[in-house]
A and B are shown apart, each in its own frame.
Chain A
């Protein structure tokens, strides 16, 4: 079955990768101080952990043994050295508390600082990429890059890298100390260590595979759940409730079995590892006990050894877990760098040409423009036309004739494969694309409203939108009624994707948005979705206001828009078949005229006046 199909987004990286690590460290470098602090804190925690047992040994073997001997000899025992050690111990306890606080706070903080940088750099970079990048990647995957992938890296910085390196140091130092206490006992521990490491590694592999299956099956199960919820009408009308229940039962069953596997792994791993530790402890008491009897080991040293042993075991136990964290972080890093390595093709030139003071009051020209996504398959072929200042050029044509491509070329979402688009006599490529786009007023077929207030959606953070221009835009686009009806008015919240508004209302708001900055050049891709007649009238009115006195390129569907255009281009298979004003085209007696005679009888005139 394909149920264990693994989402490429959750597959782990193959292994260690130094070059990836180097690139990641670049993001860590600006926070080098924080990393140094983290290392300082870890050192502090470790030092306290080592000091505690040492004090125990000192106290028991030193002052306490002396006091016991003194009492046995009938003298008054001198407890001052013992109490001094206790005082020292309490200081260590306090320091330890502080270090533990810092260990959590400082390490997480460091990770968060790096992650925030990385996430914002990544997001900004993604927004500098060309449209084909967005068209070729599902939105969900793009979101995963700036969410899950970045969070995986967080773990690398907080509980992965630094801690792993430190764990290695800890294991070595603790082992060294064990040897200084009692070489023979330490040898027993060392003999059993490979067993612990082997168990840890075997478990790591098993756990990773098992978790991957759990995640894949969980995703499949949740996916089906949501699917059925969204298709509940069909399910109920078709009386397929039983069948979807049985199907869901299957998903649950597979999910349960995957879970049982991980439970089993964990249920085995912890006790087995604990058993090895018990084995080491049992050996310690046997060997250590013998050496106490023979006087080669003191009781204090035995306790110290016992404490250090626990410190030695814990990093080994966590090793597998840390390795898994690092692996999944590497996989995420690889995907993130893949995006960061993608370069936009449409970029600002090194010294962009300054836009004329009032862009749009100069002519825009398409000169022999061709464009193809796949070489040889021209979507636009040798198209030339001019948008003179203040004039409207309307494009009509069938779906797939290349209308929207012309809009994309004018916005520099794409650059022509042949020919040039010019503004004020200069190739658009000489301008900074963002500056150029910023000068236009854009209304797209499927316009998009963002979460936030209506005002934010209309202003879009543009500095050239003033209170007056905004008020005018709302009036000209007949949005006043929509906004008044909304709770909170201009400050009212827009739901996700503008779901608060009807299709027609969204179109009107998009026009208001374009009008808000009073642009000199308008790019309008008219929506085709049908709306009720009152809204239709409002949209026609708003469109008229939008185009009045501005240069405009319009992909037109509305008869009223077409008739008012200064030039109409009839586009067919990427080529201009006819051009002229409404009257001229009628006079030419070509395609357009035929169409008009056939469809737009005299009676439509009256309707479009209103």
Chain B
């Protein structure tokens, strides 16, 4: 990483952190007060010891007791407030940052999500944010504490016995340096430990998920050997890490002990020479104990600083990501959309892809008609359907709705006219009702929902849910089969009052009989809707008004009605016959 961008992004997050300046001010004001209290207790006891040495009375001791108790109360109070204010601000900061990240992610165009791995995005929103929080919150808190107590302590010690104070500083510097120097090693090995843990977990994951192959090939031993290797790597990394940790711990304790050795020697001679009182000796001992942790914290901060800088950059990247799909300067509203869709000369190239996914597509979809899109795997069906809702923008040609190029339309107006069933039949882990209502612009009564469920051929299944429409979907509730998920997605799409319905190969896991029933239901329910449907199984598009056949490289291979296409030799006819034959076999 270059030096030039050091801290730039980090400063930006520091400013965000500072938005909570009122609570932070309280927290940061508490720090010196708490530290002074801490030092104050030591001073009180020093004075008591000096009084004893001078032959002072028990009155002084009693008053020392009460003073110490009083200062300790204040010390406790300020310690509470420093921690409470600063750490809770760091959590508020985390919350706001995560909210902003989530908001930008929700608004970023699909092309962004398409090219980034979700694991990477998740790690930015979790561990990178956590790194920032730790640095800005607890990190600055410990540092501020160190910056107060170190000068105060050193001043005190120097004023009492300069030589001894100067000598003590040496082991402390040694320790700070060691922590700073060992930090990269520790980081390296703890990363190695994390990575080997991830290996263990993914090895286990695939062995369990692929257990049929593992058992079928009797490879249990081999898998176990591999797992043992991964586990062994992790063990070795852990042990290597523990050595560095051990070294760090040894140096910290060495420095600590050396300080005491210095105090014992120089303090002893000081006592002898009368340069030092017994109370002063106590002062040295107790203050050294008290500055110790702040110094360790400084070393630790120096260690996490580079990570915080790197994390700041990674988080900033998402916040600064600009949406490629922009609202036009003068957006056109659709008003009452008719649902006419037109593609002329449309092509699409994925970012950095050598070949276009789609090229030269012309298509006219009359309002209220049904158009099917079919073709071999990877021909760009999903991409084509995605162009209409501007999940991607066509890189060539024009897509229009009701005669208006969609780039000129207000995005919300365009998408308001669309309803969509995704290929992956995505549902939320939420109640069945909330899933159905997800896209609905107004609240639907139960009767209406039940009508939709019937259209989607889910009535029987929903009737079996223990809690009916309020049943949770997913791990914590009922698990739906692939076909049931697809049908639910269709019901959800129908709950949305939109002129255009886009079905992306969403019937693959539904058996043909149900499919027929469902398609009939869809035709009745969506009498005036424009429907665009892609499918692997040609029976899905058999009743479409028009079918577009794509080639493997995303061009138009053929077009016509099902009857026309099935009658002429080509990919469509071949596939239709094969699918019919295999279907019949299964029906046997």
Is the Cβ of B377 less than 8 Å from the Cβ of A502?
yes
> In the complex, what distance in Å separates the CA atom of A59 from the CA atom of B215?
71
> In the complex, what distance in Å separates the CA atom of A97 from the CA atom of B418?
71
Since A100-B246, A238-B496 are in contact, a sample of 6 more A-B pairs with Cβ atoms closer than 8 Å, ordered by chain A residue number, is: A68-B271, A127-B224, A226-B122, A238-B419, A528-B582, A557-B582
Is the Cβ of A440 less than 8 Å from the Cβ of B77?
no
Is the Cβ of B201 less than 8 Å from the Cβ of A275?
no
Q: A238-B415, A570-B588 are in contact. Are A229 and B122 (CB under 8 A)?
A: yes
In the complex, the chain B residue whose C-beta lies closest to that of A401 is B588
Question: Can you list 18 A-B contacts (CB < 8 A)?
Answer: A100-B253, A103-B249, A104-B250, A126-B208, A134-B211, A223-B429, A230-B424, A245-B106, A248-B102, A267-B83, A278-B72, A286-B64, A435-B218, A451-B203, A461-B222, A531-B376, A533-B376, A557-B586
- The reply on B293 being an interface residue by CB < 8 A is no
> In the complex, what distance in Å separates the CA atom of A123 from the CA atom of B125?
32
> In the complex, what distance in Å separates the CA atom of A119 from the CA atom of B415?
52
> In the complex, what distance in Å separates the CA atom of A38 from the CA atom of B77?
40
Contact with A along B221-247 (1 / 0, CB 8 A): 111110110011011001101110111
Q: A120-B227, A229-B113 are in contact. Are A444 and B584 (CB under 8 A)?
A: no
Is the Cβ of A93 less than 8 Å from the Cβ of B218?
no
CB-contacts of A514-564 with B (<8 A): 523, 528, 530-533, 536, 557-559, 562
- The reply on A168 being an interface residue by CB < 8 A is no
Count of residues in A whose CB is under 8 Å from the partner chain = 154
Of A104, A259, A399, chain B has the most CB atoms within 10 Å of the CB of A104
In the complex, the chain B residue whose C-beta lies closest to that of A557 is B582
> In the complex, what distance in Å separates the CA atom of A427 from the CA atom of B472?
47
Which A residues are in CB contact (< 8 Å) with B438? Answer: 234, 238, 240
- The reply on B465 being an interface residue by CB < 8 A is no
Q: A113-B235, A147-B197, A460-B217 are in contact. Are A236 and B391 (CB under 8 A)?
A: yes
In the complex, the chain B residue whose C-beta lies closest to that of A248 is B102
When the two chains form the complex, which single residue of B110, B206, B258, B584 contacts A448, counting CB atoms closer than 8 Å? B206
Of A147, A256, A282, A438, chain B has the most CB atoms within 10 Å of the CB of A282
CB-contacts of B278-292 with A (<8 A): 278, 282, 285-286, 289
Is the Cβ of B422 less than 8 Å from the Cβ of A233?
yes
Is the Cβ of B289 less than 8 Å from the Cβ of A442?
no
- The reply on A67 being an interface residue by CB < 8 A is yes
In the complex, the chain B residue whose C-beta lies closest to that of A238 is B439
Write the nearest CB–CB distance from A254 to chain B, whole angstroms: 10
Contact with A along B46-89 (1 / 0, CB 8 A): 00110010011110011011001100110111011001100110
Contact with B along A437-449 (1 / 0, CB 8 A): 1101010100110
Is the Cβ of A260 less than 8 Å from the Cβ of B91?
yes
Is the Cβ of A398 less than 8 Å from the Cβ of B588?
yes
Which B residues are in CB contact (< 8 Å) with A559? Answer: 578, 581-582, 585
- The reply on A296 being an interface residue by CB < 8 A is no
- The reply on B268 being an interface residue by CB < 8 A is yes
When the two chains form the complex, which single residue of A108, A120, A460 contacts B238, counting CB atoms closer than 8 Å? A108
Q: A113-B235, A229-B113, A572-B588 are in contact. Are A310 and B289 (CB under 8 A)?
A: yes
Is the Cβ of B217 less than 8 Å from the Cβ of A437?
yes
Is the Cβ of B391 less than 8 Å from the Cβ of A237?
yes
Q: A237-B391, A256-B92, A448-B212 are in contact. Are A275 and B72 (CB under 8 A)?
A: yes
Is the Cβ of A282 less than 8 Å from the Cβ of B68?
yes
Which B residues are in CB contact (< 8 Å) with A271? Answer: 75-77, 79-80, 83
Which A residues are in CB contact (< 8 Å) with B216? Answer: 411, 413, 437, 440, 442, 444, 523
Contact with B along A450-465 (1 / 0, CB 8 A): 1100000000111000
> In the complex, what distance in Å separates the CA atom of A207 from the CA atom of B427?
35
When the two chains form the complex, which single residue of A119, A225, A461 contacts B122, counting CB atoms closer than 8 Å? A225
When the two chains form the complex, which single residue of B65, B84, B214, B285 contacts A127, counting CB atoms closer than 8 Å? B214
Contact with A along B542-580 (1 / 0, CB 8 A): 000000000010000000000000000001001101111
Is the Cβ of B537 less than 8 Å from the Cβ of A398?
no
Which A residues are in CB contact (< 8 Å) with B224? Answer: 120, 123-124, 127
Is the Cβ of A270 less than 8 Å from the Cβ of B83?
yes
B interface residue numbers (CB < 8 A to A): 41, 45, 48-49, 52, 55-58, 61-62, 64-65, 68-69, 72-73, 75-77, 79-80, 83-84, 87-88, 91-92, 94-95, 98-99, 102-103, 105-107, 109-110, 113, 118, 121-122, 125-126, 197, 200-225, 227-228, 231-232, 234-235, 238-239, 241-243, 245-247, 249-254, 257-258, 260-261, 264-265, 268, 271-272, 278, 282, 285-286, 289, 376-378, 386, 389, 391, 412, 415-416, 418-420, 422, 424, 426-429, 438-439, 472, 475-476, 496, 502, 511, 536-537, 552, 571, 574-575, 577-582, 584-588
Is the Cβ of B222 less than 8 Å from the Cβ of A232?
no
Is the Cβ of A245 less than 8 Å from the Cβ of B246?
no
- The reply on A426 being an interface residue by CB < 8 A is no
Q: A108-B239, A450-B206 are in contact. Are A67 and B99 (CB under 8 A)?
A: no
- The reply on A272 being an interface residue by CB < 8 A is yes
- The reply on A54 being an interface residue by CB < 8 A is no
Which A residues are in CB contact (< 8 Å) with B207? Answer: 123, 127, 450
Which B residues are in CB contact (< 8 Å) with A123? Answer: 204, 207, 224, 227-228, 231
Contact with B along A237-250 (1 / 0, CB 8 A): 11111001100110
- The reply on A483 being an interface residue by CB < 8 A is no
CB-contacts of A82-118 with B (<8 A): 82, 86, 89-90, 92-93, 96-98, 100-105, 107-109, 112-113, 115-116
Is the Cβ of B258 less than 8 Å from the Cβ of A93?
yes
In the complex, the chain A residue whose C-beta lies closest to that of B103 is A245
- The reply on A475 being an interface residue by CB < 8 A is no
Write the nearest CB–CB distance from A88 to chain B, whole angstroms: 11
Write the nearest CB–CB distance from B197 to chain A, whole angstroms: 7
Contact with B along A284-326 (1 / 0, CB 8 A): 0110011011000001000100100010000000000000000
Q: A59-B264, A236-B415, A451-B202 are in contact. Are A285 and B239 (CB under 8 A)?
A: no
Write the nearest CB–CB distance from B92 to chain A, whole angstroms: 7
When the two chains form the complex, which single residue of A86, A222, A411, A532 contacts B261, counting CB atoms closer than 8 Å? A86
| 4 tightest Cβ-Cβ pairs between the two chains A and B | A448-B210, A108-B242, A532-B376, A278-B72
Which B residues are in CB contact (< 8 Å) with A228? Answer: 102, 105-106
Is the Cβ of B76 less than 8 Å from the Cβ of A272?
yes
When the two chains form the complex, which single residue of B68, B282, B418, B585 contacts A278, counting CB atoms closer than 8 Å? B68
- The reply on A599 being an interface residue by CB < 8 A is yes
Is the Cβ of B257 less than 8 Å from the Cβ of A52?
yes
Write the nearest CB–CB distance from A572 to chain B, whole angstroms: 7
> In the complex, what distance in Å separates the CA atom of A92 from the CA atom of B294?
25
Q: A293-B52, A461-B222 are in contact. Are A595 and B588 (CB under 8 A)?
A: yes
> In the complex, what distance in Å separates the CA atom of A236 from the CA atom of B426?
13
When the two chains form the complex, which single residue of B415, B472, B585 contacts A595, counting CB atoms closer than 8 Å? B585
Is the Cβ of A5 less than 8 Å from the Cβ of B476?
yes
Contact with B along A122-148 (1 / 0, CB 8 A): 011011100100100011001100110
Which A residues are in CB contact (< 8 Å) with B105? Answer: 228-229, 232
Of A64, A271, A397, chain B has the most CB atoms within 10 Å of the CB of A271
> In the complex, what distance in Å separates the CA atom of A436 from the CA atom of B243?
47
> In the complex, what distance in Å separates the CA atom of A131 from the CA atom of B428?
30
Is the Cβ of B65 less than 8 Å from the Cβ of A282?
yes
Q: A282-B69, A303-B285 are in contact. Are A252 and B253 (CB under 8 A)?
A: no
